[in-house]
Amino acid sequence: MRSVYPALLSSCLLLAACSQKQTPPVAAIAVNLFTAKTQKVFYFDKYPATTVALSQVDLRPQVQGYITGISFTEGDHVRKGQALYEIDRQLYQEGYDQAKANLDVAEGNLKQAQQDADRYAYLNANDAVAKQVYDHAVISLENGKKMVAAAQQTLKMAATNFNYSIISAPFDGTIGFSQVKLGNMVTVGQTVLNTISTDDPMAVDFLISEKQLAHFEEIKNSKQPAIDSLFTISLPNDSIYPYTGKISVIDRAVDPQTGTIRVRVVFPNPGYFLRPGVSCVMRVHNQETGPRLLVPSKAVVELMGEYFVYLVRDTVAANPGDSTHTHPVKMALQKKVQLGQTIAPNVIIKKGIRANDQIVMDGVQSLHTGSIIDISKSPEGSKDKKKGDARQAESSKPDSIRSKKN
């Protein structure tokens, strides 16, 4: 029985020693800080855009036949009225000549009927001819007039078909690759011969949010001259197109599915450099006045489509060796923000933080709200530490020394 008590005593002492062990302190995460600042910035709001021809048509034949002539170079600029294709022109020339001959015959018959009607009208007035003969002469004259009218319409149709056998450019523009070759049979209204589109000026279409509609309507309707760089475009090779544009059309309705509306800006294109269908970026010079709050882009964290930064907050933590005492530490606090335009390595913050807020610039991937951070190696943190040390040194001086300094 006596041997049990020493064992129990040893167990109690071991449990007491274990209860006094402290949970190892969480290591502070070393970070760099940045103080959010406001400044005036020159930037553009950017929108994905596409170049569009103001007019574009598919060339289709209005008469049937074989292609007998192609008189243009693919990809060239063509002028309005310029002949492009010829469709079996000899066939339609013959049709025109035949219609013209039929008209000549009808007009000759009409002339004869007119003479007969005039003669029989005189004889009928003197009762020198049978009434039936006179009536037939009058009917023949009316039929002759109708035959001439019909022949005239046939001639017009033949002339139209003859003219349609030459397909001309409907407007100035650039023509594409020919879809038919010499000798191909083409069908009325079905065969696509080619496509031609206007090339100067050139339109650029892009989508804006319905919230921005009022601003763009104001720009479009303003009578004040716009700044030179209000609308510019960035091309696929990242170069800036040398000409500026002007709003031409704002679409009639907002798309209820996306909440966006299409805007069209027109640019001069004297060298035909822009082609329809080019993906580019519309750059709209932001005209808002006043400074903007900028922070480094790498300080922003994206989570499920929302954006956050980590602010620095002062707090206290228990001393590792003595849980009854605390010491000041720095803690990370996640803050949701609303982003604006990205400008080089920085991004504009529209909402969420204020000027002079200290945010974590590096090491944000390892943080969460409540993380203890170490700013001793950060330039911003060193400044704060020096200020804090100076205040502590000042407070530790004797009152007589502090009074003399003051």
pLDDT tens for residues 205-219?
999 999 889 989 988
Cβ burial, residue 380 (10 Å; 0-12/13-18/19+): middle
Rounded to an integer, what distance in angstroms lies between the CA atom of residue 137 and that of residue 123? 12
Q: What is the reported pLDDT for 299?
A: 83
Structure tokens given for 115? 């003479």
Of 314, 294, 312, nearest to 378 by C-alpha is 312
Say if residue 393's pLDDT is above 60. Answer: no
Split at pLDDT 50, 70, 90, the class of 67 is very high
| Residue with the two structure tokens 């803050």 | 335
Mean pLDDT in residue range 23-40: 74
Looking at residue 402, what is its pLDDT? 46
Pick from 49-58, 67-76, 141-150, 281-290: least confident: 281-290
Which range is least confidently modeled, 239-248, 304-313, 321-330? Answer: 321-330
Q: Which residue has the tokens 């390595």?
A: 345
Mean pLDDT value of segment 44-66: 92
Q: What pLDDT, in 10s, does the model give residues 5-25?
A: 555 555 555 555 554 445 555
pLDDT tier, 324 (very low <50, low <70, confident <90, very high otherwise): low
> Which domains are present in the chain?
25-39+291-386 (2.40.420.20), 46-55+200-285 (2.40.30.170), 89-164 (1.10.287.470)
- Nearest CA to 292 out of 351, 245, 242 is that of 351
Residue 395: pLDDT band by 50, 70, 90 thresholds?
Answer: very low
Give the pLDDT confidence score for residue 26 in this predicted structure: 59
* pLDDT score recorded for residue 274: 92
**pTM for this one?**
0.65
- Look at residues 250, 248, 251, 285 and name the one whose alpha carbon lies nearest to residue 268: 248
Average pLDDT in the 29-57 region? 86
Phi and psi based region of residue 136 (left: phi greater than 0; alpha: psi -120 to 50; beta: remaining): alpha
**What's the rounded Cα separation, in Å, for the pair 323 and 329?**
15
394 has pLDDT over 60: no
Q: Are 345 and 386 in contact (CB under 8 A)?
A: no
pLDDT for residue 398 is more than 70: no
Least confident of 74-78, 107-111, 237-241, 353-357: 353-357
